[in-house]
Amino acid sequence: MSVRVARAARAWARSVSGRRGSSNWPRPPPAAVDVAALLREATAADGGSQDAKAAAGRREPGQCSVLLFPGQGSQVVGMGRGLLRYPRVRELYDAARRVLGYDLLELSLRGPQEALDRTVHCQPAVFVASLAAVEKLHHLQPAVIENCVAAAGFSVGEFAALVFAGAMEFSEGLYAVKVRAEAMQEASEAAPSGMLSVLGQRQSRFAVACLEAQEHCRTQGIESPVCEVSSYLFPDCRVISGHLEALQFLQKNSSKYHFRRTKMLPVSGGFHTSLMEPAVEPLAQVLKAIDVKKPLVSVHSNVDGNKYMHARHIQKLLLQQLVSPVKWEQTMHAIYERRKGTAFPQTFEVGPGKQLGTILKSCNLQAWRSYSHVEVLEADEDPEQPL
């Protein structure tokens, strides 16, 4: 962990704990509060937490909804353009400018793509665009929010899911994402590393491949080489992260391990592996200062696919997530497992891209048939909202 990142995180933690409620800290815009309030009102209308669970159980499964929040890699120049005419979206981006210290909306709309792709920029950009997409969904289909029974986010998307569910305030969640992105960027610069998407088959030998890639790195003079599965996407599809030398070895020897296809991902480091260990402490300092609450709807953790149980559980697993594989396939099974003949909930991917929908189709075709994507790229047609 660098002295600069650590000092910034500690200074912010002290300032928050010393001025909780101060108007100097950018407060969350009405959009974030309204969604959480809507969820609280739905719970209260059902007569409290226990009665709410019973009411959710009585609700027809096909009337329920699930929200999925994308992660890094889904960013694209122009995202957010299709959201600006909806209430309070600009307030989200105004609040983001105060938290981040730069114009995130300008970067999201006009790029350049190379700047948007940087970890320090794309993580906040995807986070804000996703919550702005929730605002659009709330405006067009408020019942989807009222009937939401579960949410999950891929990597940084998990922070957006937690803000949506009322576990964090928008501005505090965004600041945590900012520190996380800066620390991950810095950790990735310590050694040449990356992420390799691997489409395998039943006989693919992922564990053996990683071990042999590590051994190859040792022959090249790399000490403590890292090559690990960093994401479980869908059956026989993984992301492997680690030193670039290891990933290049896997690409050259893909047939030996029965890999059908490999592709380097456009990211700057070996995320969700032990290479990200230096990023843990800066994020820990910020999370200690945030008033984390139990989510108002079920949010599933990337670490094990299970629901978060309480605030300390969230703080612990968000740190563990940095150095652990994203178990997205397992999360999809946890959310959509049900008796035969039971209807599936409506699923909405809120944010740029449709990658999570594609993965859902490979994990559970029946659940995917009730999937929709909230568009964030379409041209703004409202003449009263010039760009």
Decide: 139 and 86 in contact? Cβ < 8 Å.
Answer: yes
Q: Among 155, 188, 204, 298, which one carries the catalytic annotation?
A: 155
272 catalytic? Reply is: yes
**What is the model's pLDDT at position 292?**
96
Which residue segments constitute the domains of the chain, with CATH numbers given?
35-50+58-188+274-374 (3.40.366.10), 191-265 (3.30.70.250)
**Contact between residue 324 and residue 272 where contact means Cβ atoms under 8 Å apart:** yes
Q: What is the pLDDT of residue 208?
A: 97
Point out the catalytic residue in the list 121, 138, 216, 272: 272
Q: Check residue 267 and give its pLDDT.
A: 87
The pLDDT, as a whole number, for residue 23 is 33
Prediction pTM value: 0.86
For the chain (387 residues), the mean pLDDT of every run of 10, in chain order, is 46 38 39 48 45 52 91 94 93 96 97 95 98 96 95 98 96 97 96 96 96 98 97 97 98 97 92 98 96 96 96 97 98 95 96 97 97 84 36
For 200, the enclosing helix (H) or strand (E) is: none
Q: Comparing C-alpha atoms, which of 91, 86, 84 is closest to residue 26?
A: 91
Asked whether 251 and 196 are in contact (CB, 8 A), the reply is yes
Give the span between the Cα atoms of 25 and 23, in whole angstroms. Answer: 5
Report d(CA 382, CA 343) in Å as an integer: 37
Q: What is the pLDDT of residue 27?
A: 43
* SS3 label, residue 85: coil
- Mark whether 313 is an active-site residue: no
- DSSP letters for 238-267: EEEEEEHHHHHHHHHTGGGGT-SEEEE-S-
Query: Measured between alpha carbons, how far is 328 from 332 in angstroms, rounded to an integer?
Result: 6
Identify the residue whose tokens are 């996380």.
180
